[in-house]
Structure 1
Amino acid sequence: MAQTTLERYGGVGLHLFVLGIVVVAEAIGLIRIPIGTAAVILLPILYAFAMGIILNPNIMKGTRRVLSGNATKVAGTMIAISIMPFIAKFGTTVGPQIQKVIETGPALVLQEIGNLGTILVAFPVAVFLLKMGREAIGATYSIDREPNLALIADKYGLNSPEGAGAMGVYATGTIIGTFVFAIMPPLIHSLGIFDIRSLAMSCGVGSGSMLAACTGALVSATPSDKDTILALAAASNILTYATGLYAGVFIALPLTEWLYRISRGERTSNISREARS
């Protein structure tokens, strides 16, 4: 008898694994770890993410009896589909809080300049410390979420050095970014330096999983500001998708290309060749 598509991709086992992970993560619940005057808040999404990594058939051989290699590929493509209802829910929070969003207008727009921060921080490390080649361009011109990957794929192709750098950061961000965004916001908030609205806006970096972890942690830290946090985070995330791609096309990627040529002396070499000719 021919296998169904669900069976062929290990769908039943995959769904049972996911259900089990969710049940265990929710049973553990929220954990607060005091650090001096601050506190780190661990959310169920962190435990679920960690268990998902551990139970990956490529890491734990025992799970290969239940999950096929194709099952993990299907799970990867389902992430984008599963996150859509979550993003849609966030969108519905913007309307009732539109006045607060308008009040933060300039700050909300100007915070998108932070998209260029990866170049200032990561590019020198990639080129001068890690001695990366053109992979540094794709790895450092943005945080490399889906729209940024599309730009690199269109301009260079994902099989290029630039594509390898972008995919490397994309995978690293998916694995580590969720943890960082779940731990850092409440920890920084407890220091009393930044307004809760600025921290909420910082959640919208163009990643659904990071957005969920960040807002969840902030809401756990200040439940009374839940509506404001969700509204500003959603508005920020929408702006990141809308403006971040254009910032990458017209500013970030050309700037990173230029910095790479300068750092490798390619500009000087070109001038010298032109002078000799």
Structure 2
Amino acid sequence: KNRFFEISFLKSGIIFTSKKLYELNLNWDKIIKEISKEERTIKKELKLFLKNYISHIEIFNHVIAMIDVFSAFALKGKLNYSRPIFKENYFEIRKVFNPLLENNGCVLNSFRLEDRRICVITGPNMGGKSTFLKSCGIVSLFAQMGCYVPCEFACIPIFDGIYCRIGANDCTFKGLSTFMIEMIDISKICKSATSKSLVLIDELGRGTSAIDGLSIAFSVSDYLWNLKCFSIFATHFPELCTEKVVSKRVKVHKESRDIVLTYELEDGVCDTSLGLFVADLVGFPQEVLNLKD
């Protein structure tokens, strides 16, 4: 008992140590502090030494980054990617796929814009509209970078800007609602886009009432049509599918009470969003779904 002394007494037991262990702990703490002090000294000396070579380090960093990028480009060139063709006033993509989904059996889609420079895609929720929109943006961006593109064939212009409005988020810290952020982004796009730009807009007007949302979406599409820039809209408003635009829809198969999403694009307009189907798919209580009647 005289060899140990108590550190604390708890309900679960007693914590104690010996004189030897106590001295070892003190030495351990002292060593840790000395190590930390030595580390700070070495870091300070290293910073002073490297300060004289900052410009060289930045050059090496840039070169390594460029090698990394070009290596990635070269690797993609060996896969099922294709070399893009640049042509003014023409936009065609065949069998495009999203590179993030290329290993998951991605459905391939194609479309073309020429005289009518706006494409409006309608379709049900979860039908793949946003994914196709992003795929078109990725193809255009990769081509502008000098990289092979994730599709069988791509013939597109050289754009002076690629402008996207995809997704829905608010900003609590700035006091901005989802709709306000959407309007800020669309305002910037309308002010910045030119006839040589590519504009990608996903479900414009979703953050407000149906009437206001449709009015805003229709006005923006009409503005971009007059601007004569290549634009792709994904929307739940079939009213946007006028004779001025190329109308595409996501193909859906209806089998008795089941609905099969094909993720394939076809000519035409989809007049339903199948929101109740999606609600049922994710497991909504049946008594809630029955209230629709």
Fold conserved (TM > 0.5)?
no
Structure (1/2) with the larger strand percentage: 2
TM-score (norm 2): 0.21
Structure (1/2) with the larger helix percentage: 1
Structure ID, larger Rg: 2
